[in-house]
């Protein structure tokens, strides 16, 4: 008897195969085998339908058109062959909505005969015991979970395709729209708006070093908190406009703080009160998907995608349980394993009397299993696992192991002491200081694991800090008094960790999709990273503006969260897919007609959308009352003020583009510099900043003339501010004749091209190592280069810009290099371009590893298929066909003439006419372009 087991992943298949005996064949579908059709893959019979572009028949109960993915045809063929030889089929995909949907698609495509029973095999860890249990207790395919996933997929297709069409028409450079991605982008944009509107407030306080009069004396630091019976204002007392939220507070400025410090120097302080409270802290629950992603970002500096990738590999190889879960529950087996490990490693004093249980009310809870934990009846140690997996996976396993162990350990206990101290200055001011300290007497779970906090969050109970033994009435001496100036800070930008946390709080999206959401909004250029901070692009501002103004419901947080509730209702069988999709797309029925749906919103509101409004981000008005704004245009983002235009530096975050900064950019010199006259032609030589970089130009553009001025790009070592006339003339003298190859009489020239400096001999070109070689290379050196084997274009040996540490996956050293298309990071096997916000001088090892792994995930670059040579007709056949066509045209003309009809003469499509048409087309395409690649953006 042969039983075929199908999983999604080859790695998972390989692991499970080890646990199953003879009679089992394990293979994988390599993820989804089919998806909704798009224009290219839509079957011919549907291509004329009005809904064809959606891939969903919205007029026929939202019937989806599924097609086998192009890359999965061989997989399906292989699985069908295996199925023909099998007696039973086990669908062993993941136990969540997506896994259930993959199983259903496999069943639909493979279509096993009635003689082959189909069983659904589910497990949440890949261990021999779990696999054996799953084989012995299979279940039926859960069609409710399939319906919920199918509804989500159709919903996202309708949302994405319909709104994307609007965005492409109304927002310049906009990419596609996604249901949850749009909400995530809105969150990042709203935070940036808060930062842009933020007005900082300044305040001062004092930091006083105090010494006891005991022997030996002890010192500690206290902070000024009160003056003359009124509380001193701190940062939390100011709002985002820099105004105090309360009126009875004291705000110290710098002169007052320094004057007070001078009065307190050397003064005696008395302890006015000592308050002691017990300190008690419970461990955090075991990981669920979202908390795991947050901690992996904070502690390991991993992106959500990197963290989930590592966890997926650990799960598939049997090291951890399933990593897509909303449950904080641990099984009895896991509890026993954790307690055994705590007793062995830390001792009985760190083991509670009873196992800890964690319950939580999960908003939009998905199908849960257990918390993420080490797999098996006993937990493998991090040290053992580290010997079998790569560095990143080892760190992720250790994180999961520590969190699981800590969740079952005793509470941390101790004591917190708060002290108030006072003194009166010579001028009669009553001054009050405060100090607090926490002493941990029993570390408990802190011995294994401490949860990390986001920026701006205060630690629970404060940091551990020891204060000397103090009693009310004790006298202390002020050893040093230091005034401290502070400025309130805008709300911190989202990081991947804090954005995941916010999405979970709002109930938007699924924890299993957060990694792909974060990756998508960065890949589409809506968000970029500076360090760990997520910064929105100005295109993101325009997209969010369009959605908020014209489709507010679709980016409303509550509305999006309600969608998740509705999808859960479908998964539970409490709601049906088709009626729900009809309400969303066509609107809810009112008086027999449907209104308020996505289709109506997109079609009816398209004419209301003014691109000038949604593509403008106002910054304010200048002193003359002129509006200064950022505009998202066809050729990029630029500043606008009346007729003035100015480019915006690509790496400038929106909150740093203040009104003053914008005016500075608008009023900065254009960069055009007349360097002098060319002694040969008498034409002016001008240095300019172009769209593709700085360049020099010989003469101005003459209106009506077809001849464009000669231009030359500046070398990388040159700048517009320092280039001289001599430098410019040297550049304009290129290309330079190096000499003639004596072997064949062909001229060799040195030229500066799009991809850098190179030599040219007939049709053979060779790259040069430096731009200066254009002027210094000799014929002998050029002939030596041509004698060497030809390298790929731009393939010259250059030293790295910077050396980094080893890549955690390949183990090879990473370096940053300058490439043909800009700086990139490589480990010698994989190359990944640096992205916006990545600085070659400051990029970290973690960021470099992230870029390399992202490049690996994308697979090898696709090479463009070569076009087959046209099998044209022989010349004689072409001539005959042309002659026959001319006769037919003449006959038609004769008939028209006989009837007295007007004859229209069509000019022959000569090569010259075709060239003229091409030139006209190119002129239209490049309208507004200046020589040297500069493009004039017009609003």
Asked if residue 216 has a cis previous peptide bond (ω within 30° of 0), the answer is: yes
> Taking the mean position of all CA atoms in its chain, how far away is CA 13?
31
Cα-trace Rg, the chain = 35
Which of 88, 65, 83 has the alpha carbon at shortest distance from 29?
A: 83
- As a whole number of angstroms, the distance between CA 178 and CA 514 comes to 13
Coil, strand or helix at 797: coil
Given a contact cutoff of 8 angstroms between Cβ atoms, the answer to whether 533 and 493 are in contact is yes
CB count in 10 Å sphere of residue 636: 17
What residues are paired with 686 via a beta bridge? 674, 697
- As a whole number of angstroms, the distance between CA 612 and CA 626 comes to 17
Given a contact cutoff of 8 angstroms between Cβ atoms, the answer to whether 124 and 333 are in contact is no
Coil, strand or helix at 608: helix
What residues are paired with 641 via a beta bridge? 644
Burial state string for 280-292 with b = 16 or more CB within 10 A and e = fewer than 16: ebebbbbbbbbbb
Given a contact cutoff of 8 angstroms between Cβ atoms, the answer to whether 476 and 212 are in contact is yes
Given a contact cutoff of 8 angstroms between Cβ atoms, the answer to whether 459 and 279 are in contact is no
- As a whole number of angstroms, the distance between CA 738 and CA 834 comes to 36
Which H or E run contains 436? strand 430-442
Burial state string for 703-721 with b = 16 or more CB within 10 A and e = fewer than 16: eeeeeebbbbbbbeebebe
Please report where in the chains the tokens 């550049």 appear, as a residue. 731
Residue 271 main-chain phi, psi, to 5 deg: -75, 115
Token duo for residue 277: 């409270």
| Helix 557-571 with 179-197: angle, nearest 10 deg | 150
Identify the sign of the CA torsion 568, 573, 577, 583.
negative
Token duo for residue 193: 């708006």
Given a contact cutoff of 8 angstroms between Cβ atoms, the answer to whether 444 and 409 are in contact is yes
Q: Are strands 3-7 and 88-91 parallel, antiparallel or unpaired?
A: parallel
Given a contact cutoff of 8 angstroms between Cβ atoms, the answer to whether 695 and 734 are in contact is no
**Neighbouring residues of 735: CB distance < 8 A, sequence distance ≥ 6:** 749, 750, 751, 752, 760
- As a whole number of angstroms, the distance between CA 528 and CA 521 comes to 8
Active site residues: 322
Which of 492, 405, 400 has the alpha carbon at shortest distance from 446?
A: 405
Alpha helix (H) residue ranges in 830-874? 845-858
- As a whole number of angstroms, the distance between CA 197 and CA 761 comes to 59
CA distances from 715 to 34, 477, 729, 818 (A): 51, 65, 13, 15
- As a whole number of angstroms, the distance between CA 512 and CA 367 comes to 11
Token duo for residue 832: 């990944």
Q: Please, what is the Cα angle at 715 between 713 and 717, to 5 degrees?
A: 150
CB count in 10 Å sphere of residue 143: 12
Q: First CA to last CA across the chain, in angstroms?
A: 72
- As a whole number of angstroms, the distance between CA 34 and CA 45 comes to 19
Given a contact cutoff of 8 angstroms between Cβ atoms, the answer to whether 487 and 204 are in contact is no
């Amino acid at each position: 008897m042969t039983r075929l087991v199908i999983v999604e992943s080859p790695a998972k298949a390989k692991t499970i195969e080890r646990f199953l005996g003879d009679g089992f064949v394990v293979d994988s579908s390599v993820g989804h085998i089919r998806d909704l059709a798009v224009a290219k893959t839509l079957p011919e019979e549907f291509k004329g339908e009005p809904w064809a572009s959606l891939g969903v028949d919205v007029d026929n109960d939202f019937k989806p058109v599924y097609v086998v993915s192009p890359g999965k045809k061989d997989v399906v063929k292989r699985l069908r062959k295996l199925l023909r030889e099998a007696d039973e089929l086990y669908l062993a995909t993941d136990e969540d909505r997506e896994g259930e949907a993959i199983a259903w698609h496999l069943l639909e495509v493979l279509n096993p005969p009635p003689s082959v029973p189909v069983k659904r095999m589910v497990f949440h860890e890949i261990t021999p015991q779990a696999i054996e249990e799953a084989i012995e207790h299979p279940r039926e395919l859960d069609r409710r979970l399939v319906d919920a996933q199918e509804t989500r997929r159709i919903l996202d297709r309708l949302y994405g395709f319909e709104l994307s069409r609007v965005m492409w028409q109304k927002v310049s450079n906009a990419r596609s729209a996604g249901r949850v991605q749009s909400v995530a982008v809105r969150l990042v944009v709203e935070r940036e708006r808060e930062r842009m509107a933020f007005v900082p407030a300044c305040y001062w306080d004092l930091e006083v070093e105090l010494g006891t009069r005991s022997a030996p004396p002890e010192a500690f630091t206290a902070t000024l908190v009160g003056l003359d019976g009124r509380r001193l204002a701190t940062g939390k007392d100011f709002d985002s406009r820099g105004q105090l939220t309360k009126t009875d507070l004291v705000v110290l400025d710098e002169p007052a703080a320094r004057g007070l410090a001078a009065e307190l120097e050397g003064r005696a302080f008395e302890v006015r009160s000592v308050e002691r409270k017990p300190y008690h802290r419970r461990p955090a629950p075991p990981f669920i998907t979202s908390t795991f992603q947050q901690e992996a970002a904070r502690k390991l500096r991993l992106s959500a995608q990197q963290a989930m990738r590592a966890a997926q590999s650990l799960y598939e190889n049997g090291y951890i349980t399933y990593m897509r879960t909303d449950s904080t529950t641990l099984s009895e087996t896991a509890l026993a394993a954790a307690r055994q490990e705590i007793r062995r490693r830390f001792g009985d004093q760190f083991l509670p009397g009873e196992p800890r249980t964690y319950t939580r009310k999960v908003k939009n809870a998905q199908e849960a299993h257990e918390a993420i934990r080490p797999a098996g009846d006993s937990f493998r140690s991090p040290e053992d696992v580290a010997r079998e997996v790569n560095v990143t996976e080892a760190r992720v396993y250790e994180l999961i192991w520590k969190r699981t162990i800590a969740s079952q350990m005793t509470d941390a206990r101790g004591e917190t002491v708060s002290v108030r101290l006072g003194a009166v200055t010579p001028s009669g001011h009553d001054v009050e200081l405060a100090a607090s300290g926490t002493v941990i007497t029993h570390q408990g779970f802190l011995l294994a694991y401490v949860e990390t906090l986001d920026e701006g969050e205060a630690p629970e109970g404060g940091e551990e800090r020891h204060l000397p033994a103090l009693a009310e009435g004790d006298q202390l001496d002020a050893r040093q008094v230091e005034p401290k100036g502070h400025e309130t800070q805008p709300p911190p930008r989202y990081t991947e960790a804090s954005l995941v946390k916010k999405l979970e709080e709002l109930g938007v999206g699924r924890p299993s999709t957060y990694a792909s959401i974060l990756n998508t909004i960065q890949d589409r250029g809506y968000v970029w990273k500076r360090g760990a901070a997520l910064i929105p692009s100005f295109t993101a501002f325009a997209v969010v503006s369009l959605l908020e103004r014209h489709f507010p419901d679709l980016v409303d947080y509550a509305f999006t969260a309600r969608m998740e509730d509705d999808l859960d209702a479908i998964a539970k069988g409490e709601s049906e897919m088709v009626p729900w999709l009809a309400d969303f797309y066509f609107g809810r029925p009112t008086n027999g007609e449907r209104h308020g749906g996505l289709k109506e919103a997109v079609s009816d509101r398209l004419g209301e959308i003014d691109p000038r409004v949604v593509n403008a981000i106002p910054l304010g008005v200048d002193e003359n009352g002129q509006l200064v704004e950022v505009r998202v245009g066809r050729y990029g983002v630029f500043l606008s003020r009346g007729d003035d235009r100015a480019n915006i530096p690509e790496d400038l975050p929106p909150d740093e583009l203040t009104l003053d900064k914008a005016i500075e950019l608008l009023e900065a010199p254009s960069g055009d510099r007349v360097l002098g006259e060319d002694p040969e032609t008498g034409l002016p030589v001008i240095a300019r900043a172009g769209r593709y970089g700085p360049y020099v130009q010989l003469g101005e553009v003459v209106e009506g003339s077809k001849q464009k001025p000669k231009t030359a790009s500046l070398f990388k070592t040159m700048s517009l501010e320092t280039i001289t006339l001599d430098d410019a003339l040297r550049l304009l003298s290129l290309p330079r004749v190096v000499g003639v190859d004596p072997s064949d009489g062909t001229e060799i020239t040195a030229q500066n091209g799009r991809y850098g400096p190179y030599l040219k001999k007939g049709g053979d070109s060779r790259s040069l190592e430096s731009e200066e070689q254009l002027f210094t290379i000799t014929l002998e050196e050029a002939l030596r280069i041509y004698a060497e084997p030809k390298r790929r274009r731009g393939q010259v040996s250059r030293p790295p810009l910077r050396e980094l540490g080893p890549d955690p996956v390949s183990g090879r050293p990473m370096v940053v290099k300058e490439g043909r298309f800009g700086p990139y990071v490589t480990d010698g096997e994989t190359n990944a371009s640096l992205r916006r916000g990545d600085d070659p001088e400051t990029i970290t090892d973690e960021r470099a590893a992230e870029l390399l792994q992202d490049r690996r995930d994308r697979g090898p670059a696709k090479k463009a298929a070569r076009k087959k040579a046209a099998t044209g007709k022989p010349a004689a056949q072409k001539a005959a066909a042309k002659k026959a066509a001319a006769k037919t045209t003449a006959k038609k003309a004769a008939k028209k003439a006989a009837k007295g009809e007007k004859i229209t003469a069509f000019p022959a499509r000569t090569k010259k006419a075709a060239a003229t048409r091409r030139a006209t087309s190119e002129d239209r395409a490049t309208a507004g372009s200046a020589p040297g690649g500069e493009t004039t953006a017009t609003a």
